[in-house]
Amino acid sequence: MRPDRMVEALLFASEAPLSAADLARVDESLNEDLVEEIIAGLREEYESTDRAFGIVEIAGGYQILTRPEYAFVLDRFETVPTTARLSAAALETLAIIAYRQPVGRAEVEEIRGVSAGGVLKTLAERNLIEVVARGEGLGRPLLYGTTRFFLEHFGFRTLAELPRSDELDVILADRTADA
Amino acid sequence: MTSGTLSLTEIPHPPEPETTRKEGGEGGREADPLLRVSLDHFQGPLDLLLHLIRKQDIDIFDIPVAKITAQFLEMIRGVERLELEKAGEFIEMAATLVRIKAQMLFPRKVEEEYDDPRADLVRRLLEYEHFREVARVLDGAERARQKTWRKGYVQLRPRPAALDLPLETGWAEVESATKALAARLARPEPGYRFQSRPVRMEEKIEHILLVLMERARVEFSALVSPWGTRMHAVMSLLACLELAKRSTLSLRQESPFATLWVYRKDDPDAA
C-alpha cells in the first residue's frame, strides 16, 4: 500500500483538519516527518494536475479545501450555506481576545471604549471564543480565549500567524509618549 | 439610516458662541466633509477620535486638544438620540477631552517633570488603532477563507415538496385539454356497452368445482359474493345448471327465495 495514498485517503475523508501526528498514527510505516513529506508531494501533484482543491494548513492540521478560484461555482449551488460575515464590533473584539487571551470583559471594553457584553455572547455562541479561566479579583470575572474553530474560521494555522504589531499598517513604533 | 442616526447636514443650527475658538480654519465646518459622517459609522468614541486625527494628518503624539475637542463635540451633537448606553460612551469621552483641555491650560515650569495630560488618551488611541487594524486583517482572512470549502460542506439537494414546486401548467395546456374534452363530448354516444372483460361460464364451472373439492356443499351466494356483479351471478347460476345437467352437482332450495345450496353429487347426503 502506498503511504502517500493512505494519507490522501484520510485527508479526503475528513471533514476537519488532521494534524501530522493524527495522520501518522494510522499506520506504523508512517511518521510525522514522512507525513509532511507526503503532503508536500500531494500538494505538488494537485498543483501540477490543476485540481480544483488543495491541501491547506489550517488550525494546526491539514485539510483539503476547494480552491478560491472555484468559489463562484459553489456560490451558485443553492444548498451551500451562506456564511454571514462578522461585524466590525465582533472583529475588533476577536482581535483583542486573540492577542490578549485570557482576557476579561472589562479589558475588552477598556480597549474598545464601548460595552462588550452583547458581542462576547455572540462570539461565544458562534464558538469563536470560550471561557478559558476565571480572573482574580471581585466576582472572579470570566476570562475568554479563542477556540480552535476560530483558527478554522479565519484559515489560520496557529495564533502566531496573526500579524505582529510591526507588520501592521499603523504607526506604533514610538510609544515613549505614554511613559 | 436608522432613526437614531445623526447626520449633521440635516440639522440646521445657527453659529454658537462656543464654536468660535482660537484655532483657525474651523469657519466652514458645516461644509467640512470630515464632520459630515454619521455617528453610526463609528465603533465608538475612540474610533471617532482616530478618524478625526488620522483624516487631518494630526501628529498623534501632539494632539491639538482644543481643536479636536471642538470637532468631537460637533460630531456628537444629537448623540442623546442614540440608545442610552452608546450615547453615554460618547459623552464620557467628551468629558475626558474637556478635562484634558483644561489640564493643558495649567501653567507649568519648564524644568519641572511634566506629565502630559494627553498621554493616557494617546496610549488608548494607539492600542485601539492596533486592534482595529488587526480586525481589518481578520476581515480579509475571513473573506479569503469563505472562498474555500471543505468536504461535506455542500449538502445533498433536498427534494422539494410537491406543493413548493412552481406550477408549470400554462394556459396552452389548459386550452388543449378543454378542446380534447369538447371533441370527446361531441362524438355520438355508442348505442351499446360492453364489459371490458367478459365473464365466461367455463370459468364459473371451474371455480365451482374447485370450491366443491374442499367442501360438500356451498351457498350459492358464497359463489357470487367475491365479485358481486349481476353478470357474475348470472354466469354462476348458468354454470350450476350446466353442472347439474352433467350430474356433477345438485341444487337444493327449501322454498322460493330461500338459500340456494349447491351440493357435491358424490356426497351420499346429497342424494
Residues A105-164 have pLDDT tens digits of: 999 999 999 999 899 999 999 999 999 999 888 888 999 999 999 999 999 998 888 887
Residues of B in contact with A13 (CB under 8 A): 151
Cα-atom radius of gyration of chain A, to the nearest Å? 20
- pLDDT > 50? residue B27: no
- Integer CA distances (angstroms), B144 to B24, B69, B148, B258, in order: 46, 39, 7, 92
| Domain A3-76: top CATH class | mainly alpha
Q: What is B201-270's CATH number, 1.10.1040.10, 3.40.630.10, 3.40.50.620, 1.10.10.580?
A: 1.10.10.580
- Please check the confidence at residue B270 and state whether its pLDDT lies above 60: no
Please, which pLDDT band fits residue B165 given cuts at 50, 70 and 90? low
The least confident of A64-78, A113-127, A156-170, B29-43 is B29-43
Residue B84 φ/ψ region, left for φ over 0, alpha for ψ in the -120 to 50 degree band, beta for the rest: alpha
pLDDT of residue B190: 62
Among A51-65, A143-157, B205-219, the range scoring the smallest mean pLDDT is B205-219
For an interface test with A, give the residue of B43, B58, B76 to mutate (most A CBs within 10 A): B43
CB contact under 8 A, A95 and B61: no
Three-class secondary structure of residue A48 per DSSP? helix
Please give the distance of CA B160 from its chain centroid, rounded to a whole number.
13
- The domain segmentation of chain A, as residue ranges, is 3-76, 88-178
Chain B touched by A12 (CB under 8 Å): yes
pLDDT at B6: 40
Which residue carries 484559515 as its cell?
A155
Tell me the per-residue pLDDT of A73-104, one tens digit each, with 9 for 90 and over.
887 776 666 667 899 999 999 999 999 989 99
User: What ipTM does the predicted assembly reach?
Assistant: 0.81
Q: Is A163 on the interface with B (CB under 8 A)?
A: yes
- The pLDDT-based confidence of B244 (bands split at 50, 70, 90) is confident
> A114 and B45: CB-CB below 8 Å?
yes
Question: If contacts are CB pairs under 8 Å, which of residues 153-172 in chain B contact chain A?
Answer: 153-158
Structure confidence at residue A169 (pLDDT): 58
Per CB-CB distance under 8 Å, the chain A contacts of B148 are 56, 65-68, 71, 155
Q: How much is the average pLDDT of B113-125?
A: 86
Are the C-beta atoms of residues A55 and A46 closer than 8 Å to each other? yes
B252 forms beta bridges with B261
Number of Cβ within 10 Å of residue A104's Cβ equals: 22
Q: Which of residues 36-65 of A touch B (CB under 8 A)?
A: 56, 63-65
Residue B80: pLDDT above 60?
yes
pLDDT band, residue B5 (cuts 50/70/90): very low
Confirm or reject contact between B61 and chain A (CB < 8 A). yes
Cβ <8 Å between B148 and A56:
yes
- From CA B222, how far away is CA B224, in angstroms rounded? 5
Reported as a single tens digit per residue, the pLDDT across A30-43 is 999 999 999 999 99
Question: Do A172 and A165 contact (CB within 8 A), yes or no?
Answer: yes
The number of CA neighbours under 13 Å toward the Cβ of A84 is: 8
Which chain A residues are within 8 Å of B89, Cβ to Cβ? Answer: 113-115
Q: Is B89 in the A-facing interface, judged by CB distances under 8 Å?
A: yes
Mutation site, B118, B129, B147, B164, interface A, largest A CB count within 10 A: B147
Provide CB contacts within 8 A for A83, sequence distance 6+.
B146
Mean of pLDDT values over B194-200: 68
Three-state DSSP state, B261: strand
pLDDT confidence of residue A179: 34
| Angstrom distance (rounded) from CA A146 to CA A143 | 11
Chain position carrying cell 496573526: A162
- A81 interaction partners in chain B (CB closer than 8 Å): 153, 155
Residue B126 forms contact with A (CB below 8 Å): yes
B134 touches chain A (CB under 8 A): yes
The pLDDT value recorded for residue A78 is 67
B150: nearest CA partner in chain A = A65
Predicted confidence band of residue B7 (pLDDT cuts 50, 70, 90): very low
Whether A88-178 and A3-76 are alike in CATH topology: the answer is: yes
Residue of A nearest to B89 (CA): A114
Alpha-carbon distance A55 to A12, whole Å? 10
As a whole number of angstroms, the distance between CA B271 and CA B269 comes to 6
> Residue B109's pLDDT is what?
66
Higher pLDDT, B28 or B236: B236
Considering only CB atoms, B154 lies closest to which of A14, A77, A96, namely A77
Higher-confidence residue of A56 and B23: namely A56
Provide the pLDDT for residue A178.
40
Average pLDDT over residues B160-185: 75
How close B10 comes to chain A (CA, Å)?
Answer: 26
Look over chain B and give the mean of its residue pLDDT values, rounded to a whole number. 77
pLDDT of residue B128: 94
> CATH topology for A88-178?
Arc Repressor Mutant, subunit A (1.10.10)
pLDDT in the model for residue B26: 42
| Percent of chain B at pLDDT exceeding 90 | 23
The predicted-structure confidence for B126-161, as pLDDT tens digits, reads as follows 999 999 999 999 999 999 988 888 877 766 555 555
Residues of chain B with Cβ-Cβ distance to A63 below 8 Å are 150
To the nearest whole Å, the CA of B138 is away from the closest chain A CA by 7
Distance CA A78, CA B270 (A): 79
Residue B48 with chain A: CB contacts under 8 Å: none
- Report the C-alpha gap between B21 and B39 in whole angstroms: 23
| Binary contact (A80, B149; C-beta < 8 A) | yes
For B205, which DSSP code?
A: H
Domain boundaries, chain B: 8-107+114-143, 201-270
**CB pair distance less than 8 Å for A15 and B143:** no
Helix (H) or strand (E) holding A76: helix A71-76
* pLDDT > 50? residue B3: no
Residue A146 sits at the chain B interface (C-beta within 8 Å)? no
